[in-house]
Amino acid sequence: MKWRDVVLNALRRFSVRHGTRMVDRQGFLAEERDAMIVEAASLGNTPDQTVSRVMQELREEQLIEFLGNGKYLLLDAPLQAETEDLPDEAIDLAIKHGKLRLGDIHADNFVALRRCRKGQDRIRVRTLENYQGCCALCDVQEQGFLRAAHIARWADNVEARADLHNVISMCLIHDALFEQGYFVLMDDNRVLVKASASQTLSVVLTQHTQFRPPTEIQPGPQFLRQHRDRVNFQLKSYTSP
Ligand SMILES: [Zn+2]
CA of 212 to the centre of ligand 1 (A): 11
Q: Give the other-Cβ count within 10 Å of 9's Cβ.
A: 15
Residues 26, 83: Cα–Cα separation, whole Å: 23
pLDDT at 35: 93
**Residue 65: strand, helix, or coil:** strand
Residue 116 CB contacts under 8 Å (≥ 6 apart), including other chains: 81, 82, 102, 103, 105
Q: What is the per-residue burial (b if ≥16 Cβ within 10 Å, else e) of 162-197?
A: bbbbbbbbbbebbbebbbebbbbbbeebebbbbeeb
Neighbouring C-alpha atoms within 13 Å toward the C-beta of 86 = 34
Residues, beta carbon < 5 Å, ion ligand 1 = 135, 137-138, 140, 171, 174
Distance 139 CA to ligand 1 centre (A): 6
What gap in Å lies between CA 91 and CA 157, rounded to an integer? 20
pLDDT band at 48 (very low <50, low <70, confident <90, very high): confident
Distance (Å) from CA 119 to ligand 1 centroid: 24
Give me the domains of the chain, ranges plus CATH numbers.
3-76 (1.10.10.10), 133-239 (no CATH)
Question: What pLDDT, on a 0 to 100 scale, did the predictor assign at position 207?
Answer: 81
Q: How confident is the model at residue 43 (pLDDT cuts 50, 70, 90)?
A: low
Ranking 46-50, 175-179, 218-222 by mean pLDDT, the lowest is: 46-50
Provide the percentage of residues in the chain whose pLDDT is more than 90.
85
Contact by Cβ (8 Å): 127, 168? yes
Mean pLDDT of the chain: 94
pTM: 0.89
Tell me the pLDDT band of 44, cut-offs 50, 70 and 90.
low
Tens of pLDDT, residues 128-178: 999 999 999 999 999 999 999 999 999 999 999 999 999 999 999 999 999
96-103 average pLDDT score = 95
